[in-house]
């Protein structure tokens, strides 16, 4: 949809250079992936990334899985209003899940928001920003869901890729868990054709990527929808892992009900498939899992964990947990604590249940009091801190390969940060000014901290 407003074009903020853009990203890795593609696509079209206060176009990629990120968007837009008041040529594009929810309602409250787009509209954004810059009286919205995955312009065959790259293999979700807004904001599941995924991964590797993370709301059900071309996730994983020069492969997120034995076996077959898996549990109570619509039991989940550890004993397991789901009793919560202890998760993301508009759980009886949810979350997080500390302690004294991500935040020179194969953060020292980002370095771990480890680089043959 397009809408015209009344002001006239008076030129860019910086007429002597390319137009500037700035991208702000909230939420999941899929949003990060979309933002990375947008940055490259805009750069290839003649835009340049600049700080927020220098940008002519500001793109906000939003998340609405929980309430707090949604409120952050409104707060941010309130702050950006001052940039527009100082220069009416500044405009904002709001994308992602909150944009899909609120849509053109942003136009009523924020006159400087001139583009709203959902996840299926990302491919149209670069051309839209060109249009909006040329015609300041124009407003655009791209909020329709597509019946198949909307392929995007290939950018990584023309640009230098990040050493750690993301590749979206599917969009949307068909599970409709009782608490989740994703099927309503990202639509039904749409798998990309397998050859398209392999082409993008190949482009990334040739352009410098050393690690690729395959992304989807439920990667394990890849291909099992009307958009799929018959390929399974296990088949896709085999082909990606076989790409020459690709040193690390990860994937997220996995739904336990669809984790196929062939995918589990892949952890034993491929050395470049990182021994790390994010496998959302959500609750340790079968009664609550049934109310959530998760379609697996705790015993089935434990069987998956046992199978994974048989194939890859060193696998690092992380999970998602919700406390205070409607109807959750103290007994249900204790069962969650018991499952977390039995599995010994290396890390977890835990949250108080947050009602989202339009989903089944928001209408369920037995809403848990806020103070009860807060108390349960604290107890769960104390337990997880103990388990995480134990996981990190096991790394002490070991020499491990680390893919360097960036310079460390420390005020001391020679501090760097990266991740080991299990995904855990590693800080280390390197006594030179050499640029290490995107390189592998061997690190001897000396100290385990609360959420990471630290040590010293070990020079010598790889």
* Lowest-confidence pick of 119-123, 223-227, 241-245: 223-227
Residue 347 CA to residue 315 CA, distance in Å, equals 12
- Global pTM reads 0.91
Domain with 18 in it: 2-142
- How much is the average pLDDT of 265-283? 98
Give the percent of the chain with pLDDT over 70: 94
Same domain, yes or no: 377 and 260: no
Domain count within the chain: 4
Query: Which CATH number do you get for residue 386?
Result: 3.30.750.200
**pLDDT tens column, 359-372:** 999 999 999 999 99
**pLDDT tens column, 317-361:** 999 999 999 999 999 999 999 999 999 999 999 999 988 888 999
pLDDT for 12:
43
**pLDDT tens column, 157-210:** 988 899 999 999 999 999 999 999 888 888 999 999 999 999 999 999 999 999
Same domain, yes or no: 326 and 405: no
What's the mean per-residue pLDDT of the chain? 92
**Which residue, of 351, 372, 394, is where some domain finishes?**
394
pLDDT for 316:
98
Are the CB atoms for 56 and 22 separated by under 8 Å? Answer: no
pLDDT interval class at 412 (50, 70, 90): low
Same domain, yes or no: 327 and 262: no
Q: Which residues contact 81 (CB under 8 A, 6 or more apart)?
A: 110, 112
Above 70 in pLDDT, residue 7? no
The dihedrals phi and psi of 49, each to the nearest 5 degrees, come to -70, 135
**More confident call, 14 vs 267:** 267
**Which residue, of 114, 142, 170, is where some domain finishes?**
142
Q: Which residues contact 445 (CB under 8 A, 6 or more apart)?
A: 395, 396, 397, 398, 399, 400, 426, 453, 454, 455
- How much is the average pLDDT of 36-41? 96
pLDDT for 358:
84
Residue 304 lies in a domain: no
Above 80 in pLDDT, residue 14? no
Give the percent of the chain with pLDDT over 90: 81
pLDDT for 305:
98
Q: Which residues contact 22 (CB under 8 A, 6 or more apart)?
A: 49, 50, 51, 52, 54, 55, 57, 58, 59
Above 50 in pLDDT, residue 4? no
The dihedrals phi and psi of 97, each to the nearest 5 degrees, come to -70, -40
Residue 195 CA to residue 232 CA, distance in Å, equals 12
**pLDDT tens column, 415-430:** 999 999 999 999 999 8
Above 50 in pLDDT, residue 5? no
Residue 300 lies in a domain: no
pLDDT for 18:
83
**pLDDT tens column, 128-143:** 999 999 999 999 999 9
Residue 279 lies in a domain: no
Q: How many CB atoms lie within 10 A of CB 397?
A: 10
Same domain, yes or no: 129 and 172: no
Residue 220 lies in a domain: yes
Residues facing 242 on adjacent strands? none
Same domain, yes or no: 114 and 160: no
3 state SS of 234? helix
pLDDT for 460:
65
């Amino acid at each position: 949809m397009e809408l015209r407003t009344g002001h006239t074009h008076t030129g860019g903020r910086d007429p002597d250079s390319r137009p500037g853009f700035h991208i702000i990203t909230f939420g999941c890795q899929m949003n990060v992936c979309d933002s990375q593609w947008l940055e490259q696509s805009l750069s290839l079209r003649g835009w340049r990334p600049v700080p927020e206060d220098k940008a002519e176009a500001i793109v906000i990629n939003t998340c609405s899985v929980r309430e707090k990120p949604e409120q952050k968007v409104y707060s941010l837009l309130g702050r950006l209003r001052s940039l527009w008041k100082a220069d009416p040529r500044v405009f904002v594009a709001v994308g992602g899940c909150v944009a899909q929810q609120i849509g053109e309602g942003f136009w009523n409250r924020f006159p400087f928001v001139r583009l709203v787009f959902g996840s299926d509209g990302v491919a149209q954004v670069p051309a839209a920003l060109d249009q909006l810059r040329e015609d300041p009286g124009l407003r655009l919205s791209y909020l329709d869901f597509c019946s198949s995955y909307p392929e995007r312009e290939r950018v990584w065959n023309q640009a230098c890729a990040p050493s750690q790259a993301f590749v979206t293999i599917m969009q949307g979700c068909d599970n409709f868990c009782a608490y989740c807004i994703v099927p309503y904001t990202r639509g039904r599941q749409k798998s990309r054709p397998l050859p398209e995924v392999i082409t993008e991964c190949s482009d990334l590797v040739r352009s410098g990527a050393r690690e690729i993370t395959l992304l989807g709301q439920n990667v394990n059900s890849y291909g099992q929808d009307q958009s799929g071309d018959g390929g399974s996730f296990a088949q896709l994983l085999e082909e990606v892992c076989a790409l020459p020069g690709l040193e690390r492969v990860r994937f997220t997120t996995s739904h336990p009900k669809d984790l196929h034995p062939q995918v589990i076996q892949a952890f034993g077959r491929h050395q470049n498939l990182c021994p790390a898996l994010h496998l959302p549990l959500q609750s340790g109570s079968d009664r609550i899992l049934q109310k959530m619509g998760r379609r697996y039991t705790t015993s089935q989940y434990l069987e998956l964990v046992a199978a994974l550890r048989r194939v890859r004993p060193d696998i690092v397991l992380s999970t998602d947990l919700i406390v205070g789901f409607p109807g959750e009793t103290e007994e249900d919560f204790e069962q969650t604590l018991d499952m977390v202890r039995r599995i010994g998760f290396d890390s977890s993301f835990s949250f108080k249940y947050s009602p989202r508009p339009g989903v089944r759980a928001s209408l369920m009886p037995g809403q848990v009091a806020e103070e009860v949810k807060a108390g349960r979350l604290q107890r769960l997080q104390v337990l997880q801190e103990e388990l995480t500390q134990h996981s990190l302690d096991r790394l002490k004294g070991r020499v491990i390969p680390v893919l360097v991500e960036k310079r460390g935040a420390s005020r001391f020179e020679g501090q760097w940060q990266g991740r080991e194969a299990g995904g855990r953060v590693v800080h280390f020292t390197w006594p030179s000014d050499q640029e290490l980002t995107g390189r592998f370095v061997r690190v001897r771990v000396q100290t385990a901290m609360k959420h990471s480890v630290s040590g010293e680089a070990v020079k010598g043959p790889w």
